[in-house]
Structure 1
Amino acid sequence: MSWKPRRKFWDEVSVAPAEAGHTVRLDARELRTPGQAPLVVPTAALAEAIAGEWRAITGEIDPEILHYTKAANTAIDRVSREREAVIDAIAAYGDSDLLCYRAEEPEGLAARQKAAWQPWLDWAEAAFGAALVPVRGVMHRAQDAASLAALRREVARFDALGLTALYDLVTLSGSLVLGLAVARGALAGAEAWEISRLDEIWQAEQWGVDLEAEQAAEVRRVAFLRAETLLGLLGTDEISS
């Protein structure tokens, strides 16, 4: 039997208050997650963003356009139940942060990396007491345990939805420091993305643009900026657990 996409079955999409937050209704039916938990989010702004996704549907339901709905589902069904494992997965990027691995050569690239990346390592030390040490080359160098513990404590401040957004910021950029800088409002997402792609930008300048790679990077860029927007919809008072 072939799978048939579900089609729109409602007339009105609305946001309604719910215990511990806000929910979205399709006519009188409240949204639920794939795990059948009530889809309740902490802010009206995020609920309205989710409602907007459902209002945009005119025919078949395409899960690929339900970005904020998917984030809420993930936070409720998975992240809230596997919180410590998710924190560990995000915090682990601190031990191999992109910003710590500088080119051995050419010197022009190494200098550009230092100029763009070192200020954010300095920021992490000032903000969290996490002194990450940069190295030349790609061989892994373990970072100071106390610094990694400080970064993990910062990650652990986030609630399930905040962790869902932070996970994308960190994994898409390859940098825990950049992800936290965006989450804390110290760095704009668009600038953080450009900083994270410094090596690729250098390569394109030297050898020309790889169109296929650029198309893939654009998909990741959009997802990265969407994660930043998700944090904005949560508000600064809502990301902490």
Structure 2
Amino acid sequence: MSEWKAKRFWKETSVAEAQDGWQVLLDGRPVRTPLKAPMILPTREMAEAVAIEWDAQEGVIDPLSMPVTRSANAAIDKVSVQHSEVAAMLSAYAETDLLCHRAEAPRELAEQQNKGWNPVLDWAEKTYNAPLIVVTGILPADQPAESLGIYARTVAGYRPFSLTALHDLISLSGSLVLGLYVANGKMDPDDAWHLSRIDEDWQISQWGEDEEATEMAETKRAAFRHAANFLRLAQGS
């Protein structure tokens, strides 16, 4: 028996203001999440982006072609009901932040890390008054408890849609600080992704590319870019 797949059933896609936000209408009926919650979106910009995805569907609905819709579903069905757990998980990245772990050798790699990562850590220290300790090798440092607390409160202050985007910016890069850097509009997401890949790019320069690893990295890069765009839509800018 073949699996049933949802097909396009509507003719007109539109956007309308709703209580506490915006919604997308299919022939006048509001879109709902997979858990049947009303899809109330924080900005008109996000609602229009979701509407474009729905309007582009022809025949069988393909969720993989609807990244903004999928992230909005995650924000409503998952992040909004587990906000404190998600925030705690993300803030824990500060304890072993990628940017705090430097290579002892070779010297060229260490220099690339210092050049790329030090300005981001300096920005975070000045912005949040929350310095982090840089170490060499794989063993983590005991980061200052006050700094960890500041970062925890900062992440917890993100609303569900923005926190959904921040989740991917942090988890994909391995760095809380770099995620916040992008979230604050301090760096283009492509440039930030390159910073998160200094170690991997060094290995490639020495040993050559692995086709499967390269394909996986490209998928993650696209997800990182989407997260930055979703955050922009959530903030209405």
The two structures have a TM-score, normalised by structure 1, of 0.95
| CA shift digits 1:188-239 (9 cap, x unpaired) | 11110000000111111111122211111000000000110111112268xx
The total of aligned residue pairs comes to 237
Structure 1 match to 2:178: 178
Structure 1 match to 2:126: 126
Secondary structure, aligned partner of 1:22: strand
- Sort the Cα spacing of 1:53 and 1:236 in 2 relative to 1 into closer, same or farther, 3 A: closer
Could you tell me how far apart the structure 1 residues matched to 2:55 and 2:162 are? 25
Structure 1: which 5+ residue stretches go unaligned?
none
Could you tell me how far apart the structure 2 residues matched to 1:67 and 1:202 are? 31
Could you tell me how far apart the structure 2 residues matched to 1:114 and 1:87 are? 28
Could you tell me how far apart the structure 2 residues matched to 1:85 and 1:235 are? 22
Asked whether the 8 Å contact 2:46–2:236 carries over to 1, the reply is no
1:73, distance to aligned residue in structure 2 (A)? 1.0
Could you tell me how far apart the structure 1 residues matched to 2:164 and 2:234 are? 11
Could you tell me how far apart the structure 1 residues matched to 2:29 and 2:198 are? 47
Q: Which amino acid aligns with 1:7?
A: K
* 1:52-201 → structure 2 map (5 Å cutoff): 52-201=52-201
* 1:10-49 → structure 2 map (5 Å cutoff): 10-49=10-49
Could you tell me how far apart the structure 2 residues matched to 1:109 and 1:60 are? 48
Could you tell me how far apart the structure 2 residues matched to 1:210 and 1:34 are? 37
1:141, distance to aligned residue in structure 2 (A)? 2.0
Could you tell me how far apart the structure 2 residues matched to 1:77 and 1:112 are? 41
| CA shift digits 1:32-63 (9 cap, x unpaired) | 11111110101100000000111110111111
Percent of paired sites with the same residue: 47
